[in-house]
Structure 1
Amino acid sequence: AFLVALVVACLTHYEKVVRNQYYGYPDEWFPSVSATTGDRYPARSIFQILIALTSGPRFAILALWYLHAVSKTRTPSMLAKVVLVVGLIRTVSCGVFVYITSTDDHDIHDIGMLVYIACTFPYMLGTIWYERRLAGTSVQQAVRWRQRICTAFIVSLAPLIYFFIQHKVHHVKGAYTKYAFVEWSLIFYDVAFDGCSSWCFRRLQLQVVDAGKAGEAALLGGTGTADSSYGQGKNIASYAAAAISCACSTLSNMENIYFFADTYLGFIFWSLLTAVPLAIWYFPLWHMGLSGDELFLFANVGAVVLAVPLARRLVNSHRGFVHLLTVLTLVAYKFPAPEHRLYLTAFGSFASCVAWFSSFSARTSDRNVYAWLLGLIASCVIKAMWRSNNPVWPIMHAENGGWNGSAAMAAGTTALSSSSRDASPTRKAGHAGTSSLDWLPSSFGFGSLLFALHTVFSDSTTPLRWSVDGYPSTGAQPVPWGALSIAAMCGGLLLAHRRLALTLLWFGAGVLSIIIFSATSGWFSFLGGLLFAVFLFSLAPNFALSLGTQPVGRSLAASLLTYNILMLAHVWTVAYEFVPGGPLLRERTGLVMAMMTAALAVGFAATRKYAHLRAYPSTVRHPQEQQAYDQRRQATRSIVRRTAIMLASLGAIVYLARIPLRAPQPHIPAEHRAFTAGIWTIHFGLDNDMWASEKRMHDAIDELGLDVIGLLESDLQRIITGNRDLTQSLAESLNMYADYGPAASKHTWGCTMLSKFPIVRSSHHLLPSPDGELACAIYATLDVHGSEVDVIVSHNGQEENLLDRRLQTTELARIIRTTSNPIVFLGYVVSKPFGEVYNILMGDGQLNDVDPTDWDRWCEYIGFRGVKRIGYARISHGGITDTEIQSAKFQLLDAPSNPAADRAAAIKHHTQNLAAGEGHRVPALQYPPQFRGTGVRGHRYHVFDEPRYF
């Protein structure tokens, strides 16, 4: 009731309910209990209705506690009666301050509140004092928790009074918000104290008996015959079966709620696991090599603490507390320093691994494993909603679309629900792992599985970007076909309990899917990826359950080391230029996939060998216990099926909603036959302070009016960059066509071209790179106002590799030289103007430099041929990256141009180039004025301090 009222009040009247008699938002930003529940409609009415619904159970708790207490003693104690009476007064006083709000009658409202608080002390202390005299493990567990809650309640009164005085007497800004937090904590302590009664009622049974039927049965039972005795036994058995069925039905309803909560915690696990390498990547990116922070990648290996019996027992009995530790690390977004966010995220990943991997050996391990895997699918759906970003990552905050705070609050609630449940007893490890190396196959298999899930299926667009081709046969596009990726994951999970999942034929089909996915491109690769998803998710629960039967310490150590080694190998295939031993895995993704498949095969064999571990032998169970277990297993399958269908449906809705409904429109009207182009190196969508930069990039590109832009370092479909699709995100938000450069499996850092004009055709090129990192290029033909214009976007090698840059630029010059269409070059060349590599590009490629007099360039260059240049600007990066935006405006020619004459004219004196000032251009052909002077958001015209016009 309180939480619903809080949410409704914040959604409907946030600034009104946080305002008090002295201050409002933003000085005060959290509402008090009274403001939430009594000040505004509809929160007040909803709260009062919910409180009315809960009043009956609250009175029932008092009555049941009294009956339970007196049943444990021979005569009713006066203390029990006093506690009952005080509890009744306390409950009635709750109704007083709930239904008579402070706006109705301030005095009566306050009296009701004071009576409630005054009764809370004797109620809590009397309950604890009385229960300490009672026997029973459950009762004593209730006493321990009641003591803790009562202590917290009493201790909280001091800050409550302090902050109230600060607000009421000293008028301190923000004091009432702090007072509100303490006030809300008292509410939760109060509810939790009554919730401890569940331990006391554990052995309590309530029976509703038809007295007439009971009397008739008593008369019949009084004959004392053997037949009646037998019939009585049958009735008892049937009653027992009915009781078990009823209990399981009730348990099933609660288990459904708990299952959704655990699925959300699974989402948090995958969010943190995928965030760690993403946060690490920021540091070597700026160091251009290993920074030492890479060691945090192994934070997950800390889960081997479960090998210590004491640690394992503590985690199993307080798993909710461990989840709560995980949740606390979600506040990393509050820390501006990137290293602090990395430390918190790594610790959160460690704690989450401990909590989840310990649950794989529990009696409810099948349920836990399915919730864990559905959490991964949920993360894919949520990333689809946020256009490939995860709203709880430490690179997100409110300014760029993060929902970190809301997600942390929801995760805290689910963690508390986990802590309210008894930990399931763990089953003993399989005998095979205790005296031999039989535990290794399961470990290798699970580590490889974790790697495959993270690498390929932690985002629904990764299987599509792995195989993308040029226009017009690009293959499947992320929107809407990403929905099929989610559906395939869900479908695989629903096959996991089938016998098919552990057959050799199915494994053979899975290996074939991996080969098709890795070795082909376009639609064939995507279809192979869908089959790979079905195959992998059908294996995942079996692999996890198999791991749960092994010695926990050594099996987790081997699994997580396998996962991390494969992950490093995957990174080494593209980052070989900057890491030790890089040439060994240079461009060898096929080898990494082969190692992954071999480890999956080993794990598959081990899982088949111990297939009996998927269920518990009925011979060791009491029949009623076996029945309860079978019903629980069926209930788990049912809720898994419903959740999977729900997620697949939600994924389809999200992707269908993302389909663009209108064609892109150029910024410059068609009658001018002009367009604006640009080039920008974007550092993988992480700004200089380690925040996701898509939103700021969108604002800069849109306000500059860029019709065509090349984005470099844009391939984010890797573990270290979060498996994000920045290209699709910007294409949708800017309403532009997109050409994603060489596929994610091609070992480049990526090129992307966004265009307001239709892409007629394009090809992706891997440029010669014998020494350094593999260079990429996109060669596209656009339909610009009815005329074909070619555009090349390229990212050449580093300064240290002169041979690479020569060969790469020579190949680019050859491509440029062969086209007869007008052409614009947007690239990263690494050369001084009129240097050797520059001359190869401009001379051999027969290109014109957009401004030969601009001597202060090194990386980015714009060239053209067959179009008329009308403007050129250099815009500062605004902290989004370390590289500026270069832009040029071009106009289509009515007649074919003379490349030699264009080139001679372009080298004329600087003042001649500037002869046409901005005033000679119509506004549609001018650069926007807001970037002059200090600019906006850190972006401004720099170097020349203004655009140049020609």
Structure 2
Amino acid sequence: MAPKFKDGDVVATFSGKWVSYIHTAMAYSAFVGALCVGLYLHYHKIVQNEFYGYPQEWFPSVSATIGDRYPERSVFMLFIALTSGPRFALVALWYILTRRNNSSLPKFVAGVGIFRTLTCGGWTYVTSTDDHDWHDIFMISYLVATLPWTLGCLALSPRNPAALKYRKIFAGAFFGTLVPLIYFFIQHKVHRVAGAYTIYAFFEWTLVLLDVAFDAVTVVEFANFEIVVKDVRGISRGTGNQAVADAVLEKEKDKEVGKVFAGGFAWSGVLDAAADVYVGFTFWSMLTALGLCVWYFPLWHMGISGYEVMVMSTVSPFLLGIKSLRYLVVKNVRICHLLSLSGLLSYLAKSPENRLFSAGFGVWMACLSWAATFYAERSQPHRLEARISAFSLGLIASSIAKFAFWTNNPIWPIMHAPNGGWNKVGLALAVVAILRSTRSTASSGADMQAPGPTKGSPTLAGLGLAGLFFAMHSLLSDSSTMILWVWEGYPVRGPLAVPHGAWTLLAMGFGLVIGLFAPTFARSWAFYGIGSIGAAVLTTSSHWVGYYGALTLAVYVMAAAPVLISQAVRHSPGSTFGLGFLIYNVMVLAHVWVVAYAFVPGGPIMREHTDWVQTAMMLLIGCGVFSATGQPKSPSIQKYKGKPNPAARKQRSYYLYVLGGLELMAIAIAYLRFPSYNYTPYHPETKSVTAGIWTIHFSLDNDMWSSEHRMRDVIKELEIDVIGLLESDLQRIIMGNRDTTQFLAEDLGMYVDFGPGPNKHTWGSALLSKFPIVNSTHHLLPSPVGELAPAIHATLDMYGEYIDVFVFHSGQEEDPEDRRLQSEYLAKLMKETPRPAILLSYLVTKPGEGNYNNYVGEKSGMRDIDPSDWDRWCEYILYKGLRRSGYARVSRSTITDTEIQVGKFVIGQPEGTNEMIPEEQVPEGLRFPALFRGQGVRGHAYHVFNEPRYYA
């Protein structure tokens, strides 16, 4: 019988520390028990992975241990089930321990704890064999929730030195272990290093031990609890141990960081912030789509079309220089924002021209609306900061959306339902977000001045905006852009678009936080110097060194945004935002001319001068910094009219919550998109290779729709193992900062090598392969006059034999000397390789004439896949040291302007003859798919010969 007291506090008594003891014991028993059983019963099976087994790999990973094998799976499930009760009790006791008046953080942390417990059950009881997708969803949800749980527990930890010490040690070790964990996983998956998975497994088991150990520290505080439930020292009522977060607030009560997360939490505030950010997301979605829509027309006209004038849609803020118009726009800013949604509606227009005009009008209204919004809020610094935060977070949200959708934004005008567009959802959310976000502004139309004196030059402020907007758009609107700047081929010596795109997004978020909390530092010349060094390193270096420069630049640009925009709104928006967007347009054109110099008047002046563009960008930002440094320090958002402004601090916290959510989303996407690297060719039983070449016209089809899905379908149905893609570099503003190869590689299960990067000034070449790419080198062939000719020289491991594959795009017809020099360079390159080789190319020559004889014959050592095919000019497939078994030409449908050429080769057999044989004599695994005979499918059919050709 429990003892009774008149106050009724005590019902039963046992120490709360037993909750921690039982939880720790059950959790460790689950993992250690499964490991012991697995090692005893299935050792060789659980150390085996897709590449190696014992003795190269000699210790199993967590997933292999607790997976599908009986009885270790059952041992793990049993003890994890027994862990659930103590786990829920641990979360409940932690909430009781840390709850405080006027603070919702303990509730949030408790909710995260419950969520982690439920998702743990999800990935435990739904294995990857049962349902791979749901297993991954539960697993990544659990891992993502670990971050707020850990940080929340640290913030709420009572001031017990021993407990706090161990929590910091275990948390630091946990997150520190993630770095080598990812490194050795990439060594295993990408580089296929023997033994790397064993080292990865040790780090994975370390994470498990640290995760449980972090929660085991609660034994220190729970020793002060008795169950059920008497708080013997009053700590749950705030009369005992004081929380660390409270101590920080008391010690640094005048510091901004300490106040931001103090006070209550309201979902309405989060929804307001989310609505603002979504409006920013729609702005960046429309702005990044404009150049892409414009690009369609010079692309199909092969020169200036006249539609390029639509890039000037951004200069609408010049209208705000007229006082009456400014009053009208500011007073009706909601209507202006709603009118800008024509940019999202443009996908409904069937005609490319009408789609461009609709998108252009949307950008016109969006630029006008945002400039007016900033101007309307300038009298209240905290409201202005909220709009700037939303604008900047909108860019991060846009980049994350592209990260999730393989570099396409799902609400662009080039997207619709058949190619993965979410246009209707995006539009509906935009309407709701605008209606909520524009309920009020600080000004109803009147010119309300910003606090304090206004110093600095409006012209310099406008130039600063130009540099800022250009940097944000050209480098940060896609997480893979700067990664491809520093990519130089295999073996991997630098970052990958996945998972390291998440690093770029994290750097952007970190930069914005610096801009909000340390504006004095953000506008300092010292920080500007750091950003300039980052830009220089990115422009001049490759691999990890170049990427570190990219991350530095990303941090700086996002930190500069609040400072430069705050300074610009102190002047007339016509003279700052209008001028800013005008010069931004000039920068966009210069950014294109560095590669399109052969097609525009005066273009050769800018030929291959990305360094000039980067220098001009930083000088323009420097103009803005110069203007901002002349401005006296702006009033802090802590005060409004000289009085404390807790609402402003709380408002800032909501935008930081949104930022945190976005960054967690980026990490989750990186995890879910990480490639499996377990690719196999279509017909390994015949040791055959189907190789193709296709000029994809920048992944815009004849009707201005993004063409990745249609390309994927035909490549899969043709069973192509290795394909070269030309005109594939889309990492420029005018092309949407996209990368088609990411979607194709992940969906088709292929390795990918993105050819000379965006800073190498070519139209692009890429290689996709079912076979591992052992080594690759990127070449820029001699081009003294015309456009640069890119080439990839890759060595592939095909069925245990090294085969060289060349992907090459020759210069245009107008420059014969360029093409001659390029043919001699490539012929020498192919002649020098001692290995069998395949050339997938765009040569611009007639069979048997001129430069053809450099590519084919003694100079190169290469043979034409079909010398009798006289009807060629652009695409050619050449080979040596392999048996060529088949050749086909496939019509393009409306995807591009160039057909697909495909050849079949057999590894390990001599070259053979040019004698053609009927298909009946060809083994089934060496035949081309019958799907494309006759009328074919979706506009793709064998043409020219009307059937494939086969050879003895």
Q: Decide whether aligned partners of structure 1 residues 682 and 515 sit closer, same or farther in structure 2, where only a CA change above 3 A counts.
A: same
Partner residue of 2:904 out of 889, 893, 905: 889
Query: Aligned pair 1:762/2:762, yes or no?
Result: no
> How many residues in Structure 1 have an aligned counterpart in Structure 2?
681
Aligned pairs (5 A) from 1:73-472 = 253-361=267-375, 362=377, 363=380, 364-422=383-441, 424=443, 427-428=448-449, 438-472=457-491
**Seq. identity, %:** 43
CA contact (8 A) 2:352 2:703 kept: yes
AA partner of residue 314 (structure 1)? L
2: distance between equivalents of 1:945 and 1:423? 69
Aligned to 1:932: 933
2: distance between equivalents of 1:709 and 1:607? 51
Q: Decide whether aligned partners of structure 1 residues 727 and 350 sit closer, same or farther in structure 2, where only a CA change above 3 A counts.
A: same
Q: Write the deviation string for residues 35-58 of structure 1: whole angstroms up to 9, x where unpaired.
A: xxxxxxxxxxxxxxxxxxxxxxxx
CA contact (8 A) 2:280 2:395 kept: yes
Q: Which protein, 1 or 2, shows the higher relative CO under an 8 Å CA cutoff with sep ≥ 6?
A: 2
Aligned to 1:151: none
Q: Write the deviation string for residues 544-595 of structure 1: whole angstroms up to 9, x where unpaired.
A: 1111111121222221111111111110100000001101100000011111
2: distance between equivalents of 1:252 and 1:312? 34
Aligned to 2:99: none
CA contact (8 A) 2:637 2:649 kept: no
2: distance between equivalents of 1:304 and 1:251? 40
Aligned to 2:673: 658
Could you tell me how far 1:329 is from its partner in structure 2?
A: 3.3
Q: Write the deviation string for residues 149-173 of structure 1: whole angstroms up to 9, x where unpaired.
A: xxxxxxxxxxxxxxxxxxxxxxxxx
Partner residue of 2:723 out of 709, 718, 721: 709
Structure ID, larger Rg: 1
Query: Aligned pair 1:486/2:486, yes or no?
Result: no
Q: Write the deviation string for residues 427-471 of structure 1: whole angstroms up to 9, x where unpaired.
A: 32699889xx82111111111000000000000111101111121
AA partner of residue 437 (structure 2)? S
Aligned to 1:568: 589
CA contact (8 A) 1:432 1:439 kept: no
CA contact (8 A) 2:745 2:752 kept: yes
- The SS at the match of 1:574 is helix
CA contact (8 A) 1:782 1:788 kept: yes
1: distance between equivalents of 2:561 and 2:757? 27
TM-score (normalised: structure 2): 0.70
Uncovered stretches (5+) of structure 1, i.e. residues with no partner? 1-244, 907-912
CA contact (8 A) 2:465 2:577 kept: no
Aligned to 1:791: 805
2: distance between equivalents of 1:828 and 1:430? 62
Aligned pairs (5 A) from 1:900-915 = 905-906=913-914, 913-914=915-916
CA contact (8 A) 2:263 2:650 kept: no
Aligned to 2:613: 592
- The SS at the match of 1:825 is strand
Q: Write the deviation string for residues 95-121 of structure 1: whole angstroms up to 9, x where unpaired.
A: xxxxxxxxxxxxxxxxxxxxxxxxxxx
Aligned to 1:519: 540
TM-score (normalised: structure 1): 0.70
CA contact (8 A) 1:433 1:551 kept: no
Aligned pairs (5 A) from 1:477-876 = 477-496=496-515, 497-498=517-518, 499-613=520-634, 615=636, 622=641, 626-627=643-644, 630-669=645-684, 671-843=685-857, 844-876=859-891
CA contact (8 A) 2:838 2:877 kept: yes
Q: Decide whether aligned partners of structure 1 residues 614 and 787 sit closer, same or farther in structure 2, where only a CA change above 3 A counts.
A: farther
2: distance between equivalents of 1:611 and 1:749? 47
CA contact (8 A) 1:331 1:408 kept: yes
Query: More helix per residue: 1 or 2?
Result: 1
CA contact (8 A) 1:741 1:750 kept: yes
CA contact (8 A) 2:539 2:611 kept: yes
- The SS at the match of 1:665 is coil
CA contact (8 A) 1:252 1:635 kept: no
AA partner of residue 389 (structure 2)? Y
2: distance between equivalents of 1:433 and 1:827? 60
Q: Decide whether aligned partners of structure 1 residues 252 and 607 sit closer, same or farther in structure 2, where only a CA change above 3 A counts.
A: farther
2: distance between equivalents of 1:553 and 1:424? 17
AA partner of residue 674 (structure 1)? S
Q: Decide whether aligned partners of structure 1 residues 657 and 558 sit closer, same or farther in structure 2, where only a CA change above 3 A counts.
A: same
AA partner of residue 495 (structure 2)? A
Q: Decide whether aligned partners of structure 1 residues 306 and 641 sit closer, same or farther in structure 2, where only a CA change above 3 A counts.
A: same
CA contact (8 A) 2:752 2:766 kept: yes
Q: Decide whether aligned partners of structure 1 residues 457 and 609 sit closer, same or farther in structure 2, where only a CA change above 3 A counts.
A: same
CA contact (8 A) 2:889 2:944 kept: yes
2: distance between equivalents of 1:722 and 1:328? 19
Aligned to 1:70: none
AA partner of residue 513 (structure 2)? L
Q: Decide whether aligned partners of structure 1 residues 438 and 276 sit closer, same or farther in structure 2, where only a CA change above 3 A counts.
A: same
Aligned to 1:201: none
Aligned to 1:180: none
1: distance between equivalents of 2:780 and 2:472? 28
Could you tell me how far 1:662 is from its partner in structure 2?
A: 4.8
2: distance between equivalents of 1:307 and 1:517? 37
AA partner of residue 928 (structure 1)? P
AA partner of residue 940 (structure 2)? H
CA contact (8 A) 2:314 2:582 kept: no
Uncovered stretches (5+) of structure 2, i.e. residues with no partner? 1-258
Q: Decide whether aligned partners of structure 1 residues 319 and 847 sit closer, same or farther in structure 2, where only a CA change above 3 A counts.
A: same
Could you tell me how far 1:773 is from its partner in structure 2?
A: 0.4
AA partner of residue 705 (structure 2)? W
CA contact (8 A) 1:252 1:632 kept: no
CA contact (8 A) 1:429 1:550 kept: no
Aligned to 1:226: none
Could you tell me how far 1:605 is from its partner in structure 2?
A: 1.6
Q: Decide whether aligned partners of structure 1 residues 432 and 947 sit closer, same or farther in structure 2, where only a CA change above 3 A counts.
A: farther
2: distance between equivalents of 1:888 and 1:411? 48
Over the aligned positions, Cα root-mean-square deviation in angstroms equals 2.0
CA contact (8 A) 1:546 1:613 kept: no
2: distance between equivalents of 1:721 and 1:614? 41
1: distance between equivalents of 2:637 and 2:668? 39
2: distance between equivalents of 1:565 and 1:869? 51
AA partner of residue 667 (structure 1)? Y
Q: Decide whether aligned partners of structure 1 residues 672 and 295 sit closer, same or farther in structure 2, where only a CA change above 3 A counts.
A: same
2: distance between equivalents of 1:889 and 1:433? 71
Could you tell me how far 1:365 is from its partner in structure 2?
A: 1.2
